[in-house]
Amino acid sequence: MQLLLRFDTDDRAAFRTAYDASREDRDQAGLTQLQLWEETDAPDRVWALFAVTDRDRAAAWLAREGALDRHVAAMQAHFLATA
């Protein structure tokens, strides 16, 4: 299973600093970053793709991820399975 996240940030540089600092929390939630993209047509939009080992832990991480809150105006999360 994968998790695709879209972050609409208030400040992409500040978001990236907070995001990079939260790696241990993501690891503990069973999330492995596969890819990180910065959208070319929307400079404050960042996409992340993760492998998910435990959906419940990943969902709990999404619910409590406070370190990024002050830099994120909106976030969309999509759990995906290979078709």
Q: How many residues does the chain have?
A: 83
Per-residue pLDDT, 73:
87
Decide if 65 contacts 25 (C-beta within 8 A): yes
What's the domain range around 71? Answer: 2-80
CATH number at residue 17: 3.30.70.100
The single residue listed with the structure tokens 């969902």 is: 59
- Residue-wise pLDDT for 19-57, tens only, equals 999 899 999 999 999 999 999 999 899 999 999 999 999
Q: How many domains does the chain divide into?
A: 1
Residue 28, helix vs strand vs coil: helix
Q: Output the pTM of the full model.
A: 0.88
Per-residue pLDDT, 63:
86
Greater pLDDT, 65 or 15: 15
- Residue-wise pLDDT for 53-78, tens only, equals 999 999 999 888 655 778 888 889 99
